[in-house]
Structure 1
């Protein structure tokens, strides 16, 4: 058994979060289907509702990070889950009452995006209040596995229910899943938590967080490579759709299969991450260009079957980079700054979807799907390499410090 799973508080939280993750994927699937129903299958409307869910993380992510450091994180997580549940119930009521309009879906998607802008940095920073520093890499891997396992289960379950009941009951079920993490948070043993005292201050805390991230060479390096890889390489949902339909002339079933293949690779990456005991900065530095390179190679595959096979290492590389960068930032950040640093990370991994996805679509329209996939990942690879080159002295010195610390720990343990 992984050491972290012996921790009752974390075990309850992982179960609660896993149930909520399934609900999140059900909500997104039903939301997208509802928009297509209301707009006559408008791709523009579908893109709009997706953008509204991710745009708040890009625009107000630092505010979410400030709140994560300003207020007790467990209490903040409770409120975010309850608000998300209310949004789901409201949308279900509109659908079941026959009063739903497209703008209702847009508004609720925006509200859920705002909730997520607070939830994401808070839940990332909350990890170190549940477990020890040594358990963080495996815990991040377990969380990633939970999310991608839900990605395999949630959409399929939502699709089956929509075919029988319509979207209304699906929204109700998705809303009910928030009770699982809420229950876990309420039942936690306070004595087993490593709570961080809340910081005092206002919006100036955001500026302080930015300065802190820029001045720390290790954090700056991780965020730098994430800016390129997160914006350009982490668009597999869009590139898979374009490659399946435009490059290989396949339909919805084949496109859906590609998503499952990536998820399988991601689960394998999560399993490897859960076994990892340490995350050296050099490992993070290597995993970023490796992710871009795996995507680039997939774009060179000659046919649909080969492309699908190439997506397995893409999924492994993506999850490896995300979990390694996440763990490194959490362990390097001062406890009172962790929420703001993780907010910057979530902006660069999730919020930049609103930039990367339209860019990929435009390039595919101008150059073709294959050229777009290869081009954006070549740019990500070069950008990550540039960041690493600029941080080469810092990477060398920080790597030496990590080696000394690791050697010292081994000596102490042996003694």
Structure 2
């Protein structure tokens, strides 16, 4: 019997490694498991608990949008510097440092809510601190993925599975958060987030990665590295185009998140459970899209997928804005999340596969800047438009801009396809 179980386990492992080759690598398995738990707590706090608590305290769409803007503003400022650090220092050690700092912020939120002394001002300050940590975290988190996989041919699968992990966390976090809010209260959401950081620290510590020698730097080296990364992105027109599309998605394609509490409470006449359901719908779509991408091989064709995804996001946002039924709203948000992750991950895979390793951290900082750095402006835009013309009309405007962006990109996609084919055939990439 023991022999039979051993044979079955070997066969299952062989099948998994054949379909999902990134899981062959121990470091990737540790990273995937630890970050799944840690990010579920992070997304529970950022996507559900803090927005719901802010709207519950203020009942103001504009303050909700302002809080989202201020939360992500430090992200916008710190991401480029994080990209320089990711190219110069140990990415694992940097990520561990961010996790340790994150425990401090989350523990403070936990203490304030358990003591029932939380207010809008303290929420805002701690949200800004979270934004600072996210600015340091994002480029490092994306670039370390390829370090956990020793075979370059498995990079695409690792990047797709990293998106699976993030999307699963987006589903798991709000789902648990909705249950905790409905049964025990928001304070236990913050407690869960605090404890979830421990899993990330333990698994990062267990990863066996070669040491990275600290570089010899000069006083102006950081600014020179920033300028070098900017010049590279600026001269590579295909990268610039897909990053502009990603920035548009960050500005208007994800802006619906800022006004979800309004739809949950006023448009659909629900409560915290409704908010949790709406918050989970997008990640469920993302998860489905990630499974598709994890089975896909090669990067050719991903540039055309970006065009389709951008247009579909716009149509889905408009449909969500017009919906007054919960089931239809959930369905449209599943579409938004699914097509959103297709665009985000396709951009990520193209960049990480084709950009030289010595510039990857800085280019990925521009990737993170385009995606998350535009979110504060998207949150402020959505909140301001919702205050002036109502939340449904605000999302109709955002969806229309997404469709116009897809039309603009359509005239440039052939140029990007030619660049990808040329880079794939070059000896540097193929080697």
1:42 to partner: Cα distance: 4.6
Distance 1:99 1:298 in 2: 37
Tell whether 2:375 aligns with 1:353.
yes
Structure 2 residue aligned with 1:326, among 348, 365, 368?
348
1:123 to partner: Cα distance: 0.8
Tell whether 2:419 aligns with 1:398.
yes
User: Number of residues paired by the alignment?
Assistant: 403
Question: Which deviates more from structure 2 when the two are superposed, residues 61-70 or residues 98-107?
Answer: 98-107
Distance 2:134 2:262 in 1: 27
Tell whether 2:23 aligns with 1:5.
yes
1:58 to partner: Cα distance: 1.7
Partner of residue 12, structure 2: none
Tell whether 2:113 aligns with 1:92.
no
Q: Residues 289-300 of structure 1: matches in 2 within 5 Å?
A: 289-297=308-316, 299-300=318-319
Tell whether 2:215 aligns with 1:216.
no
1:332 to partner: Cα distance: 2.1
- Indicate how the Cα distance of structure 1 residues 76 and 46 shifts in structure 2: closer, same or farther if over 3 A, else same: same
Distance 2:100 2:237 in 1: 38
Match of 2:222, SS? coil
Partner of residue 232, structure 1: 252
Q: Deviations over 1:125-163 (max 9, x none)?
A: 111111133222222222222222222222232343345
* TM-score, normalised via structure 2 length: 0.82
Partner of residue 257, structure 1: 277
Structure 1 residue aligned with 2:397, among 375, 385, 401?
375
Partner of residue 164, structure 2: 145
Question: Which deviates more from structure 2 when the two are superposed, residues 8-17 or residues 356-365?
Answer: 356-365
- Indicate how the Cα distance of structure 1 residues 166 and 199 shifts in structure 2: closer, same or farther if over 3 A, else same: farther
1:251 to partner: Cα distance: 3.0
Tell whether 2:323 aligns with 1:279.
no
Q: CA RMSD in A?
A: 3.1
- Indicate how the Cα distance of structure 1 residues 196 and 287 shifts in structure 2: closer, same or farther if over 3 A, else same: farther
Gap runs ≥5 in structure 1: none
Partner of residue 99, structure 2: 81
Partner of residue 115, structure 1: 133
Distance 1:385 1:332 in 2: 25
Question: Which deviates more from structure 2 when the two are superposed, residues 340-349 or residues 356-365?
Answer: 356-365
Indicate conservation of the 8 Å contact 2:229/2:359, yes or no.
yes
Partner of residue 71, structure 1: 89
Distance 2:380 2:51 in 1: 17
Match of 1:251, SS? coil
Match of 1:299, SS? helix
1:398 to partner: Cα distance: 1.2
Partner of residue 336, structure 1: 358
Tell whether 2:206 aligns with 1:184.
no
Distance 1:140 1:387 in 2: 24
- Indicate how the Cα distance of structure 1 residues 259 and 40 shifts in structure 2: closer, same or farther if over 3 A, else same: closer
Distance 2:260 2:122 in 1: 29
Gap runs ≥5 in structure 2: 1-15
Match of 1:346, SS? helix
Distance 2:359 2:81 in 1: 13
Q: Deviations over 1:288-340 (max 9, x none)?
A: 44333343255257753545434433322111111111111112222122121
1:124 to partner: Cα distance: 0.7
Match of 1:278, SS? coil
Partner of residue 105, structure 1: 123
Q: Deviations over 1:218-245 (max 9, x none)?
A: 3212212212232122223246666667
